[in-house]
A and B are shown apart, each in its own frame.
Chain A
Amino acid sequence: DIQMTQSPSSLSASVGDRVTITCRASQSISHYLNWYQHKPGKAPKLLIYVASSLQSGVPSRFSGSGSGTEFILTITNLQPEDFATYHCQESYTTRLTFGGGTKVEVK
């Protein structure tokens, strides 16, 4: 099975910061990597699909990059509503494994 590892597991940041989150796959998943934002009490929200495509309605301060085994989610100019947990998910296999999540907290 493919293992998905996110780093860091948590980070502290301030409004206006640039934040990067890394997701590594245990084997190549081509570009089949999604990013979701999850806030407490809310449903997860799709941000980025197939590594770098921005989901409709998602602000352009969110971007994704990478292929193969290493992927990055970047949030530029962090906004108050961006404090949340971010999950990566591989869609290369039918197991659709998620990473462990990265919690972005207020510094």
Chain B
Amino acid sequence: QVQLVQSGAEVKKPGASVKVSCKASGYTFTSYEIHWVRQAPGQGLEWMGWMNPNSGKTGYAQKFQGGVTMTRNTSISTAYMELTSLRSDDTAMYYCARWDKKLYAMDVWGQGTTVTVSS
């Protein structure tokens, strides 16, 4: 079945970087954009950006420009989201999601990766 499986929980110190992976299966990885969304404790969902796995082209929310990099390895159908210069307010659950352009919506989501930033 179609699924996205994310890497495990991370604990990082302020100023460090974190790289979360998102492995796709059950569909052609290069045919759908991958988007990243996060949810901080007690907060709503926040869209971070997108990546086209075919071209590698990316687009980031203004808030994250300069601090996030989205990449992919098509040989293993895996997308990555790297966040640098971590701060305590980056503590959140991070989700990858497949964008279906026919639906104009995110139709398949990963299970989420908890990133905790603490000294």
**A107 contacts the other chain (Cβ, under 8 Å)?**
no
**A96 contacts the other chain (Cβ, under 8 Å)?**
yes
| Interface residues of chain A: helix, strand, loop or mixed (majority) | loop
Chain B interface size, under 10 / 10 to 19 / 20 to 34 / 35 or more: 10 to 19
In this complex, the member of A45, A55, A89, A96 whose beta carbon has the largest number of chain B beta carbons within 10 angstroms is A96
| Stretch of B72-80, B81-89, B102-110 at the chain-chain interface | B102-110
Q: Which chain B positions have C-beta within 8 A of A42?
A: 111
| Interface residues of chain B: helix, strand, loop or mixed (majority) | strand
| Stretch of A11-19, A76-84, A98-106 at the chain-chain interface | A98-106
Please judge, given known A-B contacts A94-B59, A95-B61, A96-B35, whether A46 and B106 are in contact too, CB under 8 Å. Answer: yes
Q: Are A96 and B47 in contact (CB under 8 A)?
A: yes
Please judge, given known A-B contacts A32-B104, A96-B35, whether A43 and B95 are in contact too, CB under 8 Å. Answer: yes
Please judge, given known A-B contacts A43-B110, A43-B112, A44-B109, whether A49 and B44 are in contact too, CB under 8 Å. Answer: no
Please judge, given known A-B contacts A43-B109, A43-B111, A96-B35, whether A49 and B104 are in contact too, CB under 8 Å. Answer: yes
**A69 contacts the other chain (Cβ, under 8 Å)?**
no
Please, how many angstroms separate the alpha-carbon atoms of A57 and B43 in the complex?
Answer: 28
Q: Name B residues whose Cβ lies closer than 8 Å to a Cβ of A.
A: 35, 37, 44-47, 59, 61, 95, 97, 103-107, 109-112
